[in-house]
Structure 1
Amino acid sequence: MAYLLSEHAERFDRSFLAAGEQKLADIILAALPDSVTPLRLTKIGVIGAIVAAAALVGCRWSPTWLPVFVAGIFLNWLGMALDGPLARRRNVTCRQLELIGQTNDLITQVLLIVMFGASPFLSFQSTLVILTCYLLFSAYNYVRTIALHARPMSYIGLGPTEFRILMATWPFVARAGGIDATAHDAAARLDTAFLILAAIGVAGLAVKAFSDARQIAAEE
């Protein structure tokens, strides 16, 4: 999305991997043939999310689905992270493409979060906590973008790409730690941990909102 960037946003709201991701994106975009369109990339991103979601369910019965899950996450990133830059590179940007891209990105992320609840890596309760936080942060992100005319913010250096990496690595962390959300005791401990993390995250968002409000007041 072609946002009007403020100096404040450029300096403080870039995610950890933004610079490296930009370089990688430029390499990939330069190699793409003309037959690959922004809309086609968006479709690839949606397909990747569906593949990853199906693999999460498959992991309930076999860990051999994990490579499929990672591949799906990669396809989701490839499509959703590059469709907008490709459109701008080819000067084919329009509001319709931006709307489709942003909407599909939101829907696919929600799908992946929800399907974690059907996997052995997160309980349904933990999934609801994460989903609530994700929607809260996303909603504030859009509000902030409009109010400050700034790029979408990252939170403590975490943007969409970092969030995808966290999703891709969590199943391996859970398996290495012997975490099985289908077991009642393990699920209860996991739920408590995520509730504490969510409370800290929401408190941080409240501080961020207060800071942004003071910035708007100072500029008026």
Structure 2
Amino acid sequence: MKSNTAIAAHRQAFESARRINRSLTAGIEKRALTSMAERAPRWMTSDGLTLLGLLAQIGAGVFYALSRHNHAALAGVIVCIVLNWFGDSMDGTLARVRNQQRPRYGFYVDHMVDILGATALMCGLGFSGFVHWQVAVAMLIAFLLLSAESYLATYTLSSFQMSQGMFGPTEIRILLIVGNLALLRSPYATVMGHRMLLFDLGGTVAAVAMFTMAIAISVRHTAELDRQEPLG
């Protein structure tokens, strides 16, 4: 009895951070997910969806590695990206619709899954031969830096930024699907007369953009925290 009371008190004391999502698809995606969650069968659970999202992202990495020998495996990557979207996006929505939220548990598990899944995806991409390892590692490091900044801001500013500008996880998945479709046609791109791997080009742009955003957002949040906690 005391244990249940302590748990309830701890939950009441914990305040969830404000979620901010201004991505292009945020509005329509929220409506679609809520509608699906309301119609979801009872056997479907948030934890099961989280596991599906992780396994799907690992699967995408495996299919990327297999695509080195058979480009048809890229179709498997696309299927896994869609399944990852469903699992990763639906787990929290289902919990909210059923009033089964576990804010600390959900935040911790979801983002550990994101880190593990992104690592598996980038490793698979590196093995695919469609991108040089240096670019794949740079994308992973940039993603981890941006993620770390987001988690620190969630704790210190009570604000969880789910998107950066118009881009969020769903937009990135859409771009990745488009990139995979382009790979099925040709793995190369020509820039100013120079032929290079398409994903080297896209990955370099993505890594530079994420590094830049991480630095810019860190400077902004540091200034904001300094204003909130001035010396003297």
TM-score grouping bracket, smaller chain normalisation: 0.7 to 0.9
CA displacement at 1:199 relative to structure 2: 3.8
CA displacement at 1:200 relative to structure 2: 4.8
**SS of corresponding position for 1:93:** coil
- Which structure's CA Rg is the greater one? 2
Q: Are 1:73 and 2:81 counterparts?
A: yes
1:127 aligned partner, one-letter code: A
Give the aligned partner of residue 127 of structure 1. Answer: 136
**SS of corresponding position for 1:186:** strand
CA displacement at 1:186 relative to structure 2: 3.4
Q: Are 1:210 and 2:219 counterparts?
A: yes
Give the aligned partner of residue 6 of structure 2. Answer: none
CA displacement at 1:99 relative to structure 2: 2.6
Using structure 1 for the length normalisation, give the TM-score: 0.82
Q: Contact 1:137/1:205 (CA < 8 Å) preserved in 2? A: yes
CA displacement at 1:79 relative to structure 2: 0.8
For residues 188 and 221 of structure 2, the distance between their equivalents in structure 1, rounded to whole angstroms, comes to: 38
Give the aligned partner of residue 47 of structure 1. Answer: 55
Structure 2 unmatched runs, 5+: 1-14, 190-194
CA displacement at 1:145 relative to structure 2: 1.2
Q: Are 1:164 and 2:177 counterparts?
A: no
How far does the alpha carbon of each residue in 1:44-70 deviate from its partner, in whole angstroms, 9 at most, with x for none? 112212321221122112222122111
Count of residues paired in the alignment: 209
Q: Contact 1:3/1:151 (CA < 8 Å) preserved in 2? A: no
Deviates more, 1:55-64 or 1:150-159: 150-159
Structure 1 unmatched runs, 5+: none
**SS of corresponding position for 2:196:** helix
**SS of corresponding position for 2:127:** coil
2:225 aligned partner, one-letter code: I
Q: Contact 2:146/2:214 (CA < 8 Å) preserved in 1? A: yes
Q: Contact 1:70/1:168 (CA < 8 Å) preserved in 2? A: yes
1:15 aligned partner, one-letter code: S
CA displacement at 1:138 relative to structure 2: 0.6
Deviates more, 1:148-157 or 1:110-119: 148-157
For residues 60 and 69 of structure 2, the distance between their equivalents in structure 1, rounded to whole angstroms, comes to: 15
Which of 116, 126, 145 aligns to 1:107? It is: 116
Across the aligned residues of Structure 1 and Structure 2, the Cα RMSD in angstroms comes to 2.6
Give the aligned partner of residue 29 of structure 1. Answer: 37
2:68 aligned partner, one-letter code: R
Structure 1 pair 207/49, CA: closer, same or farther in 2 (3 Å)?
Answer: closer
CA displacement at 1:215 relative to structure 2: 2.4
Structure 1 pair 190/104, CA: closer, same or farther in 2 (3 Å)?
Answer: closer
| Greater strand content | 2
2:144 aligned partner, one-letter code: L
